[in-house]
Structure 1
Amino acid sequence: MSELLGKFGVWGSRFQWADRVGEVAELESLGYGTFWLGSSPESDLELPERLLGATTSMTIATGIVNVWQTEPEDVSRSFQRIGSDRLVLGVGVGHKQIDQAYEKPYPKLVSYLDRLDVPADRLLLAALGPKVLKLAADRTAGAHPYLVPVEHTAQAREVLGDKILAPEVTVVVEEDPEAARAIAREQLAYYFTLTNYTNNWQRWGFTADEVAAPGSDRLIDALVAHGSPEQVAAKLRAHVDAGADHVAIQSLNGRYAELAEALRLKA
């Protein structure tokens, strides 16, 4: 699957990109290999299908279909209806505070996979902790972690073995560190309320105070690559050096053309 994804892609919320299909085609022309459609795409996969129709070679991936908001049989039918060899399905359990009212997330994820009729080699799991990373290695093509430091990428590589590792990395193309952190904090405010993220950050040595809103400078700098296009590109390559097969870039202030140049995507 690594050839299908390419080395670098773009991650975007469906709420922000639903009316920007043409811009995804522009990202393809810049050399990005995959567009990740985040924020729980619906089970009909209608927007991923439109994105496939607007592009010619770019992979379209869901990042992620939420197991609490969709039925696996519905998603399976949609995947099979579309029938594209450029479609990759990312699946995950969402957030405890929002979705997980009646059932623990790990058994829910397992039962969802049991009922999902999608080829394993076109399937990835959103995974933060070692248990779900191991499930990704055992049942799918690999993992798509979100909002993680480079140290997480290195450990995930060890758990996954030779399976695909495709982390999302948030970036701000801004050379003023304080201005960049302010942009990052505005975006991350929601995540400080979600225990699956704050607990994961504490696994990497951040204190409870550091992971409380608005987040310490040290935490923000570990989670969000910021600086000039060249500095951001170097931080993205650090995830590749740590073991990522593919990096899904979510830029909070755009400038994807400059990042593509810095990453030498057309070289």
Structure 2
Amino acid sequence: MLGTFGVWGSLYQWGERMDEVADLESLGYGTFWVGSSPPSDLALVEKALDVTRSMTIATGVLNVWQTEPEDVSRSFQRLGSDRVVLGVGVGHRQIDQSYEKPYPKLVSYLDRLDVPADRLLLAALGPKVLQLAADRTAGAHPYLVPVGHTAEARKTLGDKILAPEVTVVVEEDPEAARAIAREQLSYYFSLTNYTNNWLRWGFSPEDVADLGSDRLIDALVAHGSPDQVAAKLRAHVDAGADHVAVQSLNGHYAELAAALGLKR
């Protein structure tokens, strides 16, 4: 359904470039993820479907506080495509004003969402939502997680789909690569669901302070030559991922496709 490798693209960078998704399909990527909380009309999903032939188009992810499940259901049914997968998540306490008790909200959202379970994934980080993903959907789509998280998530999910996003920088100078990563990730250091998850995975408060230690950045962001990045992406597959959604902060998707051995 997803292929082993896909591309995760923020709607802010890709919203006016959906025609380029066809180029990613031609490179051999199996899925394009419309990221950064797309709206319930799924208009960008529809644009990506229109320019591709067989690629899966997924959301990464629909925010339960910013969309109504009935609206999403109507949009999904309007598209009527077996190439659509909906990733759903609970957003962030620091952003979503109505954010409270996220787990019951997520359960209620799923109860009201008229979309087949095999077309749904949850943006799961902690064990409780990972278990909900295993029980109620096709699987999980974690974001900004180390390889260790992938290995543990596989244990919880059983045979369900595990499709982590992995951020990458194609740059052989480690300091330059980390600088690019920190500029992009600075936003996430203010979001407690991410910082708490990193602490859960053995990083210290010092690691998650001041835009992250080198140790944290290196664990979250695959950087190096295309071959080095490809090896780090495969590490998630070896740890149990069925699919890896690649978000490159500086492009080079053709070189990464070649390094990953994708077939055009």
Q: Which residue of 231, 242, 247 corresponds with 1:245?
A: 242
Structure 1 residue 154 and structure 2 residue 161: aligned?
Answer: no
2:230 paired residue number: 233
Alignment correspondent of 2:98: 101
Q: Distance in 1 between matches of 2:187 and 2:79?
A: 33
Q: 1:30 aligns with which of 24, 27, 31?
A: 27
Does residue 260 in structure 1 map to residue 261 in structure 2? no
**Change over 3 Å in CA distance of 1:42–1:11 after alignment to 2:** same
Q: 1:180 aligns with which of 171, 177, 181?
A: 177
Alignment match, 1:89:
86
Aligned amino acid, residue 216 of structure 2: L
Q: Secondary structure at the match of 1:16?
A: helix
Deviates more, 1:106-115 or 1:91-100: 91-100
Q: Indicate how the Cα distance of structure 1 residues 127 and 231 shifts in structure 2: closer, same or farther if over 3 A, else same.
A: same
SS at match of 1:207: coil
Match of 1:200 among 197, 206, 214: 197
Q: Distance in 1 between matches of 2:226 and 2:244?
A: 15
Distance in 2, matches of 1:51 and 1:161, equals 31
8 Å Cα contact 2:63/2:90 also seen in 1: yes
Instruction: Give the gaps of 5 or more residues in structure 1.
Output: none
Tell me which of 159, 164, 181 is aligned to 2:161.
164
Q: Please, which runs of 5 or more residues in structure 2 have no aligned partner?
A: none
Cα distance in 1 for partners of 2:40, 2:99 equals: 21
Note the alpha carbon deviations across 1:27-65, whole angstroms, 9 max, x for none. 000000000011111001011001100100110000000
Q: Distance in 2 between matches of 1:214 and 1:103?
A: 26
What is the total number of aligned residue pairs between the two structures?
Answer: 264
Name the aligned partner's letter for residue 215 of structure 1: G
From 52, 58, 65, the equivalent of 1:61 is 58
Q: Provide the rounded CA distance (Å) in 2 between the counterparts of 1:260 and 1:211.
A: 31
Match of 1:64, SS state, is strand
Following the alignment from structure 1 to structure 2, what is the Cα–Cα distance between the partners of residues 250 and 94? 19
What CA deviation, in whole Å up to 9, does each residue of 1:126-178 have, x standing for no partner? 00000000000000000000000000000000000000000000000000000
Q: Which residue type is aligned with residue 113 of structure 1?
A: L
- Equivalent runs, 1:115-130 vs 2, <5 Å: 115-130=112-127
Matched AA of 1:211: V
TM-score, structure 2 length as denominator? 0.99
Note closer, same or farther for the CA distance 1:124–1:100 as it changes in structure 2 (3 Å cut).
farther
RMSD: 0.8
Runs of 4+ in 1 over 2 A off after TM superposition: 100-103
How far off its partner does 1:103 sit? 2.6
Q: Report the equivalent of 1:133.
A: 130
CA–CA separation in structure 1 for the residues paired with 2:32 and 2:120: 15
Shift of 1:99: 1.2
TM superposition score normalised by structure 1: 0.98
Shift of 1:102: 5.2
Identical amino acids, percent of aligned pairs:
83
Give a deviation string over 1:213-257, Cα, whole Å, max 9, x none: 210000000000000000000000000000000000000000000
- In structure 2, the residue matched to 1:217 is 214
CA contact (8 A) 2:65 2:98 kept: no
In structure 2, C-alpha distance between the alignment counterparts of 1:149 and 1:7, rounded to whole Å: 18
